[in-house]
Amino acid sequence: MALVIKNLEKRKIKKFIILYFILSLFFFNDAVSNESGKVLSFVAGCYGCHTSNPNQPFGGGYEVKTKYGTFISPNISKDELNGIGNWGKEQFIKAIKEGLSPKNKPYYPVFPYNWYTKMKESDILEIYDYIFSLPAVKKNNANHDLIFPYNIRESLWFWRLANKIITNKNNIEYNSKYNSRGEYLVNSVGHCGACHAPLTFLSIIKDYKNLGGRKETSKFSNDSIPNISNDINEGIGLWTESDIVFFLQTGIKPNGDFVEEDMALIIDHGTKYLKQDELQDIARYLLKIKK
C-alpha cells in the first residue's frame, strides 16, 4: 500500500476513478488475500469474462464483441441445469487445456484455452474448487450472435488444424518451459498475448510470446492494441519495473493517464489481485530483466 501512495504522489492524476481502484485495493487486501483459487480465477479472467452481474459470479452473459460477431459467455457456476454442476475435474481440465467439451465439441478460441494449455493442473483445480465453493447461479445461457460461416461450430475443426500448423511451425519456443513465475503469469494464466500478440490469418497467433500489439483493422474501428514489448520506441521499454507494477495495480500510466476500457477490466478483475512480488516478476519478464 505504501508503495501505491508514494507512487501516486509522484504523478499528476487525471481521473477520479483512481480513487475507486485505491479503495478496492484496501478492501481486497483485508478480505481475501489467501484464497489462491479466487486470485487465479480473477487473474486468468475466468471471473471477468464469465460474470455479467457481480451478484451472480460465473453466471455468464458477458459479451465479447469481435469482427466475427458477439460471443456470450456461458454459465460456469455449479448450477446443474445451466452451468457445469455435473462436470467432474477431468472434464474441467480438458475444457480449459484443450478447448473441448465433455462431448468433444470444440470451443471457440475467444475462450483463451490456447494460453491455458500450459497451466498447471493444480492451479486449474484450485479454480474448479473455488467455483464449486460458490452458490449455483440459475441463469440460462444465451446463443452467440456470429456471422456465417463462423456460426457453424464444426468449422472450428478446420481452425484448429490451421492453428496447429501455423503455430507449431513458427513458434518452437511455445512448447518450452517457463523460466519464471512472471513468464508463467504473462504467457499462460494472464494470457496477455490474447490481446497484445499480433494476429495472422483467421486471427491465428503465430508466436505466443510476441507482445508487439495490433494495428487498427480499419480507420473507424479504433481497435488497435499497444505494443508491450521492451522496445524503447514502440513498446514499454522506457517504463521502469515499478511503473509496470503500479500500472497493473491501479491502471495509471507513467505519464499520469488512466488506462482505457478492456485493459481497465483486466486490472480491476485481475492483475490488481496479484502479490507485489508476482507483479515485480511480471515487470521483469516484460522488460527482460534477469534476476
Question: Which residues make up the interface to ligand HEC (CB under 6 A)?
Answer: 44-46, 49-50, 64, 71, 73-74, 76, 84, 95-96, 101, 107-108, 110-112, 116, 127, 186, 190-192, 194-196, 225-226, 228, 236, 247, 253, 259-263, 266, 271, 282
Which is closer to ligand HEC, CB of 30 or CB of 54?
54
CA 169 to chain centre: 25
At closest approach, how far in Å is the CB of 252 from ligand HEC? 10
Whole-angstrom distance, CA of residue 36 vs CA of residue 17: 27
| Shortest distance in whole angstroms from residue 232 CB to ligand HEC | 12
* Residue placing its CB nearer to ligand HEC in the complex, 47 or 167: 47
CB-nearer residue toward ligand HEC: 87 or 169: 87
| Residues in contact with 160: Cβ distance below 8 Å, sequence separation at least 6, in sequence order | 99, 106
State the Cα–Cα distance between residues 258 and 17, nearest whole angstrom.
9
Q: Helices 17-31 and 261-268 sit at what angle, rounded to 10 degrees?
A: 20
Would you say 79 or 167 has its CB closer to ligand HEC?
Answer: 79
- The least CB distance from residue 74 to ligand HEC, in Å, is 4
CB of 262 to ligand HEC, least distance (A): 4
Query: Would you say how long the chain is, in residues?
Result: 291
Strand partners, 288: none
Least distance CB 141 / ligand HEC (angstroms): 7
| Residue 276: CB minimum distance to ligand HEC, A | 15
> Closest approach of Cβ 207 to ligand HEC, in Å?
16
Q: Which of 253, 291, 254, 247 is nearest to 272 (CA)?
A: 247
Query: Is the separation of the CB atoms in 71 and 144 below 8 Å?
Result: yes
Q: By C-beta, is 30 or 77 nearer to ligand HEC?
A: 77
C-beta closer to ligand HEC: residue 60 or 167 = 60
Please give the angle made by the CA atoms of 209, 267 and 85, to the nearest 5 degrees.
90
Taking the complex as a whole, the smallest distance from the CB of residue 257 to ligand HEC amounts, in Å, to: 7
Distance CA 123, CA 112 (A): 16
| Integer Cα distance of 141 and 55 in angstroms | 17
Nearer Cβ to ligand HEC, position 169 or 218?
218
Alpha carbon distance 162, 76 (integer Å):
28
Quick check: 242 and 211 in contact, CB under 8 A? no
Amino acid of residue 232: I
| Euclidean distance between CA atoms 81 and 84, whole angstroms | 8
Give the amino acid at 160. Answer: R
